[in-house]
Structure 1
Amino acid sequence: MKTPADIITRLQMVAQDGTKSDRRLASLVLSDPDFVSKAAISDIAARIGVSEPTVTRFCRNLGCEGLRDFKFYLAQALAIGGPYLSPEPVSRDAREQRIASAITGAAIAAIERVAENLDMTTLVAVANRIAASQNVLCIGSGGISSMMATEMQNRLFRLGLSAVAQVDGQLQRMYAAVAAPDTTLIAFSVSGFARSVVEAVEVAGQYGAATVAITAPDSALAKAAKTVIHFQPLEDGNVYKPTSSRFALLAIVDMIATATAEARGPKVLENLRRIKQSVNMLKVDNPRLPIGD
């Protein structure tokens, strides 16, 4: 029997388009998954007034062997996505709080946490290595990590460094294969288990490149890289709000960029001046605007 890939989606579909009894059973599971995951088949059947064989047929219609198999997949789905099915109701204080305050407060807290736990000795050593590198390869997969790889490239090229970002898994491995001892690879992964990123780090390391991972400690990526800047996200449980971890990760990127600029010294200033001059001539002449808009 085919294993259901996403039991919650199947339940939602059945709750809309299934038979009368299946719709009632699906609605029960979606509204009270904790009860269904623990109750006996007789209790489930009695709860909505159907027979036990009807419950069994319902489970089989979902692609499961029976109730026990269904409970296994339900528990798996709840462990992964449970908070998104029945999130805690927003408290009165949170409802009355401005969205701007919620976002900025969480961002500030995330940055302060990472600053308190960051090993600045390691970070500065990484920056010194980047400053002396012939080539810098920045890689990351997924939403946050891919953006950080691109931002790292954006910060480094203006310092006169040959930096490139790759977020495609195949290209990450290809670029890693042409790395050399004067290459520095910077890998981002919040989880530390993005396969393409881990493999690229391993490949680059085989050719003598300095490999740096900004990732969770004790992860596969942390074990693959020669140098690790530990990054452990801590969420606040608000499933409606975008993750605040990216602000903390961006702070690390900016710290590395600043330390790299200081390591390279005054020679970076001419590049920055040229970029500022060029960009400002294409738009309003305002010296207070940031470089690159």
Structure 2
Amino acid sequence: MFTYEKIKSLNDLEVSIYNYIISNSEKASRMTIRELAAQLHVSSTTILRFCSKMGCEGYSEFKYKLKEYLKDSGKREFADDYTIIQDFFKKVEHSEFDQEIQKAAEIICSREKVFFVGLGTSGTLGKYGARYLSNLGKNALYLDDPFYPTDNGKYDDTAVVALSVSGEQRFLHRQIDGFKRGKATIISITNTRQCTLADVSDFNIAYYMPMTVLPGQYNVTSQVPVIYILETLAHRVQRLNKKT
């Protein structure tokens, strides 16, 4: 029901609808369109547009398909992390997502230098991604200083893999701006394409997981998809290197 292509077509408001429904499916399946619109502070028209992008002619058909989807999946409470991760792997069982990873691997393979950048949890995963890629034969470095100057270098033969859940970190964007002015190719891995980092990147891979932010602005959105992308990306680079 929630296929990769459908989710990718959503705008910011529609992504917020998807995030709520995927995390509160049982509750959402019993709500009227007005109740759902009030809960999300959007119009009924926005809900109907979302339903249309999910392949439904109206809200009633969407609710029916949602109930069938939950029944087929055998999920009582869709907010459970395990079921959300299962849903991710169902979404990515499609050639378009696979092709995006392949394209990113081709870019990395064709560049002499590779940098991974990120902040917080994304930074930790960036360090992991650089090491994993290096283990498989393509040397990569991780930039762990958010204040490290990047605006004085030449990066025309460099690929920068930028990781961010929200894609809106100010310090990360300052570094990316320096890399771009130095002619680096920017590959971003973000939760959604509707973000600034994706907009300024040359290539983006979005994984679309329900966003979870705790009080204090601590983002605990599952990063299992990022691990999958990083490892798959590294293996694709290794295969391409063997062919050259």
Q: Is the TM value for this pair above 0.5?
A: yes
Q: Please list the CA deviations of residues 66-116 of structure 1 after superposition, one character each: whole Å capped at 9, or x if unmatched.
A: xxxxxxxxxxxxx9xxxxxxxxxxxxxxxxxxxxxx554443333333455
* Gap change, CA 1:228 and 1:236, over 3 Å in 2: closer
Q: Who is 1:204 aligned against? A: 179
Aligned-residue offset at 1:263: 0.7
How many angstroms apart in 1 are the aligned matches of 2:181 and 2:96?
28
Residue 139 of structure 1: SS of its match in structure 2?
Answer: strand
Aligned-residue offset at 1:160: 2.8
* Gap change, CA 1:234 and 1:114, over 3 Å in 2: farther
Q: Who is 1:53 aligned against? A: none
* Gap change, CA 1:115 and 1:177, over 3 Å in 2: farther
Aligned-residue offset at 1:150: 0.9
Structure 2 residue identity aligned to 1:246: Q
What is the TM-score with the length of structure 2 in the denominator?
A: 0.58
Q: How does 1:1-293 map to 2 (within 5 A)?
A: 104-116=82-94, 119-143=97-121, 145-171=122-148, 174-175=149-150, 177-215=152-190, 216-234=192-210, 243=220, 245-265=222-242
How many angstroms apart in 1 are the aligned matches of 2:243 and 2:200?
35
Structure 2 residue identity aligned to 1:248: P
* Gap change, CA 1:235 and 1:190, over 3 Å in 2: closer
What is the TM-score with the length of structure 1 in the denominator?
A: 0.49
How many angstroms apart in 2 are the aligned matches of 1:232 and 1:177?
34
Residue 119 of structure 1: SS of its match in structure 2?
Answer: helix
* Gap change, CA 1:176 and 1:164, over 3 Å in 2: farther
Q: Any conservation in 2 of the 1:111–1:251 contact (CA below 8 Å)?
A: no
How many angstroms apart in 2 are the aligned matches of 1:177 and 1:120?
35
* Larger proportion of helix: 1
How many pairs are equivalent? 162
Unaligned runs of 5+ in 1: 1-78, 80-101, 268-293
Aligned-residue offset at 1:177: 4.0
* Gap change, CA 1:266 and 1:224, over 3 Å in 2: closer
Larger radius of gyration: 1
How many angstroms apart in 1 are the aligned matches of 2:125 and 2:93?
17
Q: Any conservation in 2 of the 1:110–1:245 contact (CA below 8 Å)?
A: no
* Gap change, CA 1:191 and 1:218, over 3 Å in 2: same
* Gap change, CA 1:211 and 1:126, over 3 Å in 2: same
Aligned-residue offset at 1:232: 2.2
| Larger RCO (CA under 8 A, 6+ residues apart) | 2
Aligned-residue offset at 1:261: 1.1
